[in-house]
Structure 1
Amino acid sequence: MTKFKMTIKRRMVLLVLIALIPLILLQLIGIMSQYSERIEEELESSLSIAQTVELTFMNYLEENWSQQYAIGMAIIANPEWKREDIDKYINNVLSGKQNLKRYSWISPDGIVLASSNEEIVNVNARGMEFYRRILSGEQKVVSNLREDIINDNNLIIHIARGIYADGELKGIMLGILDVEALSEILNIQYTGRSVKYGLIDKAGMLVHRHKEPNIPLSERKIETESRLFKAFSEKNVKFNYPSQFDSTNRLGAATLIEDIGWLSYYSISSAEVLSSLMRYARRDIAVLFLTSLFSILIALFVGNKYTSSLERLKDAADEISKGNLSFETNFTGSDEISATNEAFNRMTREINNQISQRDEVVMLKTNFFSTVSHELKTPINIILGAVQLMDKMEDISKASIQKYIKMQKQNSYRLLRLINNLIDINKIENNQFKIKPVNYDIISLVEDITTSVVEYTELKNIEIVFDTEVEEKIMAVDPDKIERMILNLISNSIKFTDSGGKIEVIIYDKEDKVQISVKDTGIGIPEHMQESIFQYFTQVDDSLHRKAEGSGIGLALVKSLVDMHGGTVRVESTVGEGSEFIIELPVILLDNSSDTIEHTSFTNVERINIEFSDIYLKVEKTPNS
């Protein structure tokens, strides 16, 4: 009987098989992990789209409420208008609102005084939900789903706005929205054949379900024990359960629209989600099988020559599969195995590099778009609102024109400030931002900057004080950039200091250094945020800066400008007591005395208006301003 010999080729095959077994297990575990991750990704995506549905619907409501306010104020401003004049005005407005069935002007006692539908003039609306809620104190109301009993029994919702003058209710503007129009309003981009999204009102009635407009009212009640219904109490929910409308198992999420007490939701068929996952799983198994077969053939072919090298490569592969991505092999030579080794090492380095870059890019992208989109949207909305109001007002006074132009100008300053900061960030990141130092009196420069902003501190009843240890200190600085640093720090102090507070700007002479302190009695900065606030797009926690907005760019620019001067900047702060930002600049003189310039005021009104646009806007919005 021939004795079985464990030849090198057989050993190679055995080693390959042994190596492939854990890889197969890892692949199966990976498939299971991908299943869980895919489900979780879909649920997270569903929540994001549900929030997009919420934002789209709320934007539509806010647009209607704003227009209703403009219409109501126009009616109040023209008491000589007869019903026919009001009807004509309402019909002109409604002609541009194709989604609405009709508009009506209702008296404070609930009688329809004018309407785009003459049939409902003089109808009593006291029993309507929107009327009761307006009388109870709500200014903006969207009603629950109901049938249009006046017209055609279609399903509708009421969008109403109370119109007040001098604190007194003068009337109610009412818009009627046919729920079928929500298909056009909620035009959300999505992928998937089985996608469903829509809205649920406060009473738990299905207001809209994508591509299913004809569900009878009696079948629209959401089951109270469903996960979807729990969003009323839990705000955000994710679910994976059979739908009550088509009995298919669906993945999705729902979020509470807190402003109106409704729900927005999004879901997709579980089968559709898993079908793509199964395709990938079959592909991975096929790839694994082919790879295994090919590896065995290679093992049989190379034989003794590469046994040792393959064993070492297998050990390296095991390390990588365990997550040790820094592991590298150290073969020497010029054959194929050595070349493979070098490629293997490059791959691990590239994987590490790509993982780091991906995480950084995702974080920066998220912070950037979240911050910039909000900072751009707010002033643009205000400018657009002012333009629309001016456009709608037939007899506009000169004072109103000046008011709206002033509003647009200040918000333009705010946009210009953000755009300038973004441009400067780009220049700094690409080493294109340079300073132009000259020998200059830093004391006079900072004093002039401080006194130039007294007007803004007085708007908030904040005391600002300048003090210095020396009367003159000549040193090489870029006055323009110093001005920008100090304005930014004072601007922050004003924004985060309440009325009656105090801001101190003090210069200390440290012989070979100059220390500039900007200290306030504001809300303070938590200790864990005091390092990160000098990074781009970083802001203090929402609970502390809710009353002031910003892009999170200013302090990062201050640090960059200080660094360019060879100095340092730090913050010392206690929550609830205030903050002190301390800039230290080295005292350096340029050799060329011709670079020394006489003192002039480098501050200019336009720059201060831009830098302090947020403060001006905030003060302008207060009731007493």
Structure 2
Amino acid sequence: MVIILKKLKIPYLNIRWKLVSTYLIIILVVLLVLSAFLLNTLYSYLFNQRKVDVLTDTNIIASIVSEDFTIDYINQKLPQMPLEKNARAIVVDTESVVLYDSYNETSMIGKTFINTSITNALLTNGKNSSNAYKDNGSWFIDATVPVIKNSQTVGAVYLIVSGDSTESIILHIQNSLVLLGALILLFVGIFSTSIAGVLTFPIERFTKFINNMPKDSLQHVQINSHDEIGQLALAFNNLIDRMAELEEKRRTFVSNASHELKTPLSIIKLLSDSLIQTENPDPEFIKEFLSDMNKEVERLTRIIEKLLDMTQMDSSQSSMQFVHTDIRELTLEVYDKLMPLAKNKNITLSLNQPDDEVILPIERDTLTEAIYNIADNSIKYTESGGQVDISVSRDLGSVYIAITDTGIGIPKEEVQKIFDRFYRVDKARARETGGTGLGLSIALDAVKLHNGHIEVKSEEEEGSRFTIALPYAEELTPMQTP
């Protein structure tokens, strides 16, 4: 039915009518199969019963004429037989010559009646037979019984009756089934329309709610059910929550990015305006201003580079190449890069690694940057004379890269925020050290790409410990982040 409606080019067929069409098609198919089976069974039963009845009547006639198989006796007894209307009884001798014919209009008395069933009955040990057949659009039932006298076949009785009455019964039942089927389809159509309306109402309400939702306001849909529709509504509400969270992060990110980019630009603008407005500036004065402007340009460049790194990391997850690499090589590389910075701040930088290889499938550049950003951050926030330690360890399930410092520490209420983009615990120190507020965020994204996580333990004025945990027992593939 759905296919037929589609062929009729109906522009829109909603789920309610699809459900109704499905119910009607199923019921129609079931009714057709049951009706065909019932009619076929009824046909076989009624005609078999009629054949038994006709054969019984034929046996009675054969029994009567077998008492005295003479024309006079037959003509005396058979007219008294209560045959049904339109029935025709014929009695033949062993030569198939008709001795009696109850049908007077075209009587075959004295003629030879050739019939297969009669021929078979006249044979030695002839048997009874009964058949139902259709001729010129009408049904007939005939039966043939041999007449046996003194253990000898002396003739045969042939009885034929109309089967139209039986067919009429079947046609009447068939018409009744058609009417009943139509009523059932009508009832199912009305009932299924109501049921489909109840089932699709939450969907229609859901769709209407989404279509009417303001573009600038994400709202939850209220559907109190525990079926698939309820699960869909719950999934939609969860999606709305994630979208709202992402939108809030986007707004915060844009606001912070705008602020971070605006600050060095404002300073550059202020310095350049001051330089322009100063008449006959001293060369040292110009050099100082240009030096300050250069620092702000470098700071602006660092911010832009970090933003590009984050964008590149977000867009290249599926194309990352994971190669089995010794983690000790990464930590040694970071150690060598940061040693000059540590010495410059009079900070002791140490590296502790196991003697055995620690092989993991990793994306080298991203994981190296993650380790570098955390260690660099530890050095920046550790006072002169402090200590920063990088260590590698593993157990049966994970590899751990720990960066421990004796720096200023992080307040407990700030620990959950340090991985937010542009977030700084100490904004003044961050500007002094040239920080962008993106390093830890990039580090966390890189670790998540390796199906890992970062644990942070910190006490104010005592230091912090960042532990990168990477799964060791399974092959790593990039994690899909929302």
TM-score of the aligned structures, taking structure 1 as reference length:
0.35
